[in-house]
Amino acid sequence: MTTTASTATAPVADARALALAHYAARSVLEYVLARYGATFQQQVALRAAITTETPQTSDDLITQVQGSLKADPADIRATLDELLAKQLLVADGAHLRPTDAGRELFAATGAETAPISARIWGGIPAEDLTAAGRVLALVTERANAELAALTA
């Protein structure tokens, strides 16, 4: 009898398992983004600009992206400059706003990745997703606290 991941003893979640899952999923997104000439960091910054309720300054977006990616602020500023150069963001006074082209790119990559995400996440029992969500939220909270202590 052949065992599968679903019938074998489930592995215990740890940092390596989390990293492997993250990079596997991120690689799928990066593959799609590359076809549009976009990077992962650009997508995260564009998402931050598009999904906010109020216009953001570049400093606001840098703070938001840094909170998500823990990237160097200078690298994030360079990413915003790239989005401005590609005319996916536009400066409106002190604020950066997504352009129609930026919204179209975000929508196109989202539409392309949605069925892939559905295949990746589909069939996982809701109670497993809920438990994983609790664990990931706790790991994120603790890791953020450790990073804050290290950088204080």
* Count of positions (residues) in the chain: 152
Q: Provide Rg for the chain, Cα atoms.
A: 18
CA gap 14, 28 in Å, rounded = 22
Provide the 3-class DSSP secondary structure of residue 15. Answer: helix
Query: 82 Cβ partners below 8 Å, 6+ apart?
Result: 39, 42
Instruction: 99-105: list long-range contacts, CB under 8 Å, 24+ apart.
Output: 102/46, 102/49, 102/50, 103/50, 105/36, 105/38, 105/46
CB atoms closer than 10 angstroms to residue 30 = 14
Per-residue pLDDT of 140-149, as tens digits, reads: 999 999 999 9
pLDDT of residue 2: 47
Average pLDDT over residues 41-60: 96
Rounded to the nearest integer, the mean pLDDT of the chain is: 93
Per-residue pLDDT of 76-95, as tens digits, reads: 999 999 999 999 999 999 99
| pTM of the predicted model over 0.85 | yes
The secondary structure of 86-142, three-state, reads CCCEEEECCEEEECHHHHHHHHHHHHHHHHHHHHHHCCCCHHHHHHHHHHHHHHHHH
Alpha carbon of residue 33 to chain centroid: 12
CA gap 19, 14 in Å, rounded = 9
**20-113 placed in CATH 1.10.10.10:** yes
